[in-house]
Structure 1
Amino acid sequence: MFGPDSQFHRFFDDPRWALAVVRATVLEAAHPQVGAALIDNSTFVAHPWRRLRNTLVSLQRMFGPDEHIRQREAARLNRLHARLSGTDAQNRAYDAMDPEVRAWVVATLFESSVTMCRLSGQPLDQATMARLYAEFLAYLAALGDKGGHLPPTLPEFWKYYDRVVEEELENTDAVRVILYKLFDHLPAPPLLDGLPTVWAAGRALAGPVIGTITVASLPEPFRRRAGLPETPGAQTLMQGAYMAAGLARFLPEGWVRTESVTNLLYLTPDSADPQAATLNALRDQVKRAGALFRLVVPLPGPRGHEHDEDLGPARGSEQDRDRERGPVRAEAGTRSAAEFFTEVLDQTGDGYLDWPDLAAMARELSSRLDLDEPEETRLYNAFAAWWKELQSDIDIDGDGRISAEEYAAAVPSLAGPALIRVAEVLFDVTDADGNQVIDAEEYRALFRTGFRRTMTDGEVRYSRSAFVQDFLSFMAGRARSTAYDPLLSEA
């Protein structure tokens, strides 16, 4: 069911699967419980590339050949999901550990994989489809979910799928964010972060196309009930996109690898990866081309603002426009309180600081360090204590969240004892061998870059006091950091 001979493994590096995953994500978000959990807790709006990378890494671990890695990843996912519960805007409860909800998420991945083959003119035969379905059932079982939440056979599955689509799915806030906001305001990946004009131009062309293709590929009963638009020519465009992506099967083996592409997207100028130097030279050339392009072609205004009032700030587009207007900071290396609030603290991109934002930080740090229990819980508990301190000191109106205005008025109160404790716990869990210094390998695990890129010349290890001081300086919100900015603010 798992490993390099699985049907899933063959799909993982298939360019068509990118379209299928977007489609599956929309269908997941259309489930009321999943949609509410995404809106309240997910960083998919403010940090979509980071969330994509983490999702792909998780799928690789779960479908890989190593049973021990699969068990560790399943335990990590279960701990993550156990922390995601609450109520939606209609006061309906949601729980990411609900087995029916988890079954639906797996169902969308399977069905979208089948649909991508059908739409690209390469439909799966019944035997292959049955094998793929068995693999996804095994994935659900590896998470510890008991059988019965997904039907055991394919004929029963299609009845189950049609029933959920027709009776349970809704046009949730999360669906509208993905279809009408996410692609129009998608922030640049780290590789293209310094090329706002080039990225904005490409996004202005690709965003509407991806949205149109995704809507056209959704089940017709859901499109009708959700009131999604019927764009003329959308079906033809959608089928053409899937068929064009399917032509990648004629490329030499190894040319298109999901892992290689995502790793390239995440390379930054300070990366220790040998490919970084080549990419930096390419970035310089693209910057020159972008400057010329900007002189001769005015960029179109951002789309989708009719939805911004309901769905929150268009964070990515605001950052792009700030860069395009030119320098807005008083001096290099510093930032305003408002910038720090938006870029670092507001992880979910809803315009407020609350517990899901700090939980997202703990989740990202735990994922980078691949923490097990009890280290992961220690880190979450440290962030939870910091949240209680922030509520006590900064939440002036007592509404349970901190606005940008409340934060700006109380910046000196940010670095209290609880934040110091966060820094100390983060040092402890990063210092894997417990020798009270962070060496080059431990440093790279957290920051994904080498000492020589960010540390003082000649520095070969990172002491506890220096680490805590640098973390507190960054979290005070004024100074930028070559190490911490990519850790907590990159898209």
Structure 2
Amino acid sequence: MTTASTGTGTGSGTGTGPGTGAAEGTPRSPETSSFRAFFDDPRWALALIRATVLEAAHPQVGAALAENSTFIAHPWRRLRNTFVSMRRMFDADPAVREREVARLNRLHARMSGTDARGRAYDAMDRPTRAWVVATLFESAVTMCRLSGQPLDQDTMERTYAEYRAYLAALDGDARELPENLNDFWRYFDRVVEDELEDTEAARVILFRLFDHLPAPALLDGAPTLWAAGRAVVGPLLGAITVASLPESYRRKAGLPETPGAPTLMQGAYLAAGLARFLPKGWIDAGTIIETLSLSPDSDDPRARTVSALRARVKRATALLRLVTPLGGDTGTHPDPVPPTTTATGEGRRSAEEFFHQVLDQTGDGHLDWPDLAAMARELATRLDLDEPEETRLYDAFAAWWKELQTSLDTDGDGRVGIDEYAAAVPSLAGPALIRVAEVLFDACDKDRNGTIDADEYRALFRTAFHRDLATTDGTYGRSAFVGDFLSFMSGRRPNTPYDPLLADA
């Protein structure tokens, strides 16, 4: 339902799916889509943050984000998955686009509930999905205007048709968005004025997300440098985003007006807009995102470059620590003590760290069904599962959640706290968790030969096949896979291929 949680993109035209149709029904390919041109545009990073805030300000979207999204605890992972989804929505192959639409709809169908005020929310609610698409279009128009490159009327109408086509791809039609562009602006103003609220999700994005943003893989070895940069850039991004929001919403939400913020906002968009003078192909968003999240242990050819960059970053952060030592709480200790050296013993991490890094996927401080659903969603995304394999994986995690509730929820509040978890850690490795491991193995074993080969291994772990090939015959058997998975989930041992699977940021 939201760009932060599911990776919504846009379609092109007024036909039945992305990439077919433009203004007045003229066919347009994904390559000529107006929105596709934004993928590698630095301005789109600012616009996407703005659009996400406007989405989160809608009570239905805000509730869905608060209950289900991992964007707080795992923002870089969510960014990568969002970008992959957007690319698929603009693939040249119609089958790829249709498959992604089906995946998004299955994902949304699993998100419903009630918010803190007892109001029902449903990620399949059609007016709400229309609002998500509306924020993307309006933010794109605003992005161009603020950067001194406003869209002409014809381009704006053609781009609007593309966004309506994306909604049609998801819902079967685009009736929830006005056909006429002039009517769209009246619709947008009405929703901002009458329906948006000062939601907790919007506040988190504006004032907490960037202040506590974990370092991407490229910079996780330089906490001092990352903390210093985040302390400066975080508040600036927040101020820029607030200044770019509609005035009526800023007033309704009581958002602070930072002196000089409008000028700062204009300068940021203008500076990002200068990228149009760079040679074509110099900025590739996909490459940048992949590089930021690439582990040095990966067999990807770019890993060597990443390792060299990490070494330079470490030298730079050491120099920064000598020249300007940080004072106070920066959110990240400049020289963190590895949790593996705690009282739990060499090679093990504390129960609290495992709870927060692996189990609490949504970052709300508790373990409940949305956390396990997020695990299933990430695994299904990595393996690119279709039905019925995806449903089998979700069902296995649902059964595990029932088992955990029975074993760990001692106060009966419907969720598991860190104290409840720490008091009954062995209960994690019950029959239901074994079933999760078995279903996951079956999902990885694409050729159904009873073993996981190097290619199947890489699909799940995104790294090389590091097992002892001499003793495993170049494969990974069911019993070994299940044993390793249970050891990770119950023994809390870091530095295994499973760690980045569910604990990466």
Aligned: 1:326 with 2:337: yes
Matching residue's letter, 1:164: V
Report the AA paired with residue 190 of structure 1: A
Q: Is the 8 A contact 1:184 1:302 kept in 2?
A: no
Question: Cα offset for 1:457?
Answer: 5.2
In structure 2, how many angstroms separate the alpha carbons of the residues matched to 1:68 and 1:126?
A: 32
Q: Contact 2:126/2:171 (CA < 8 Å) preserved in 1?
A: no
With normalisation by structure 2, the TM-score equals 0.92
Pick aligned residue for 1:84 from 98, 111, 124: 111
Q: Which of 173, 179, 193 is equivalent to 1:152? A: 179
Query: AA paired with 1:110?
Result: F
Among 192, 205, 212, the alignment partner of 2:219 is 192
- The match for 1:49 among 76, 82, 102 is 76
Change beyond 3 A, Cα 1:193–1:457: farther
Give the residue type in structure 2 aligned to 1:256: I
Pick the aligned partner of 2:201 from 154, 161, 174.
Answer: 174
Shift of 1:65: 1.9
Residue aligning to 1:308: none
Distance (Å, rounded) in 2 between the aligned partners of 1:143 and 1:62: 11
Q: Which residue of 2 aligns with 1:345?
A: 359
Query: Structure 2 CA distance, aligned partners of 1:204 and 1:139?
Result: 37
**How many Å separate the matches in 2 of 1:457 and 1:372?**
30
Structure 1 residue 325, shift from structure 2 partner: 4.1
- Which residue of structure 1 aligns with residue 467 of structure 2? 455
Equivalent positions of 1:286-435 (< 5 A) are 286-299=313-326, 301=328, 317=331, 320-321=332-333, 324-328=335-339, 329-330=341-342, 331-435=345-449
Query: Using the alignment, how far apart are the partners of 1:179 and 1:213 within structure 2?
Result: 10
* Letter in structure 1 aligned against 2:411: D
Superposition deviation, residue 301 in structure 1: 4.0
Shift, 1:300, TM fit: 5.2
SS of aligned partner of 2:121: strand
Residue 130 and residue 300 in structure 1: after superposition, are their counterparts in 2 closer, same or farther (change >3 A)? farther
The yes-or-no answer on 1:36 pairing with 2:63 is yes
Taking the aligned partners of 1:419 and 1:371, their CA distance within structure 2 comes to 20
Q: How does 1:101-250 map to 2 (within 5 A)?
A: 101-250=128-277
| Structure 2 Cα separation of the partners of residues 71 and 231 of structure 1 | 44
Structure 2 alignment gaps of length 5 or more: 1-11, 13-18, 20-29
Deviation of the 1:455 alpha carbon: 2.0
Distance 1:332 1:457 in 2: 27
Shift of residue 302, structure 1, vs aligned partner: 5.1
C-alpha displacement of 1:282: 2.0
1:313 is matched with which residue?
A: none
Task: Write the deviation string for residues 318-346 of structure 1: whole angstroms up to 9, x where unpaired.
Answer: xx33x634344335531011110010000
Contact 2:218 2:309 in 1 (8 A): no
8 Å contact kept, 1:337–1:477: no
Q: Hey, what's the Cα distance between the residues in 2 that align with 1:130 and 1:187?
A: 39
Aligned to 2:4: none
Q: CA–CA distance in 2 between the matches of 1:400 and 1:408?
A: 17
User: Quick one: distance in 1 between partners of 2:51 and 2:491?
Assistant: 37
In the TM superposition, residue 414 of structure 1 has moved relative to its aligned partner by 0.8
Say which SS state the counterpart of residue 94 (structure 1) adopts. strand
d(CA) in 2 for partners of 1:88 and 1:424? 34
Higher alpha-carbon deviation: 6-15 or 275-284: 275-284
Higher relative contact order (CA 8 A, sep 6+): 1
What is the one-letter code of the residue matched to 2:213?
Answer: L
Q: For residue 53 of structure 1, report the CA deviation from its aligned partner.
A: 1.0
Q: Distance in 1 between matches of 2:297 and 2:318?
A: 23
Work out which of the residue numbers 447, 452, 460 in structure 2 matches 1:446. 460
Number of matched pairs: 473
After superposition, the C-alpha distances for 1:169-221 in whole angstroms (9 at most, x for unaligned) are 01100011111100000011122122211111111111011001000000000
| Length-normalised TM-score, structure 1 | 0.94
How far apart are the structure 2 equivalents of 1:103 and 1:245?
A: 28
**Whole-angstrom distance in 2 between the partners of 1:457 and 1:376:** 30
Q: Give the distance between the partners of 2:362 and 2:266, measured in 1 at CA.
A: 33
Secondary structure of residue in 2 paired with 1:209: helix
1:393 positional shift = 0.6
Deviates more, 1:91-100 or 1:184-193: 184-193
Q: 2:94 corresponds to which letter in structure 1?
A: E
Q: Deviations over 1:139-185 (max 9, x none)?
A: 11111343320001100100000000111101100011111100000
| Conservation of the 8 A alpha-carbon contact between 2:469 and 2:475 | no
- For 1:333 and 1:234, how far apart are their aligned partners in 2? 48
d(CA) in 2 for partners of 1:477, 1:96: 36
Letter in 1 for 2:500: P
Show the counterpart of 2:51: 24
Instruction: Provide the rounded CA distance (Å) in 2 between the counterparts of 1:380 and 1:334.
Output: 29
- State the Cα deviation string for residues 374-425 of structure 1 (Å, max 9, x = none): 0000000000000000000111111100000000000011100000000000
Provide the secondary structure at the position in 2 that maps to 1:187: coil
Larger deviation, residues 437-446 vs 282-291: 282-291
For residues 294 and 479 of structure 2, the distance between their equivalents in structure 1, rounded to whole angstroms, comes to 29
Q: Secondary structure at the residue paired with 1:449?
A: coil
2: CA distance, partners of 1:263 / 1:45: 19
Deviation at residue 60 of structure 1 after TM alignment: 1.1
Larger mean CA deviation between 266-275 and 458-467 belongs to 458-467
**Separation in 2, partners of 1:302, 1:236:** 30
Q: Is the 8 A contact 1:474 1:481 kept in 2?
A: no
- 1:81-103 per-position Cα deviation (integer Å, ceiling 9, x unaligned): 00100011110110000000100
1:130/1:401 CA distance change after superposition, 3 Å: same
> 2:5 corresponds to which residue?
none
Decide whether the 8 Å contact of 2:445 with 2:452 is kept in 1: yes
2:22 maps to none
User: 1:299, CA displacement in angstroms?
Assistant: 2.4
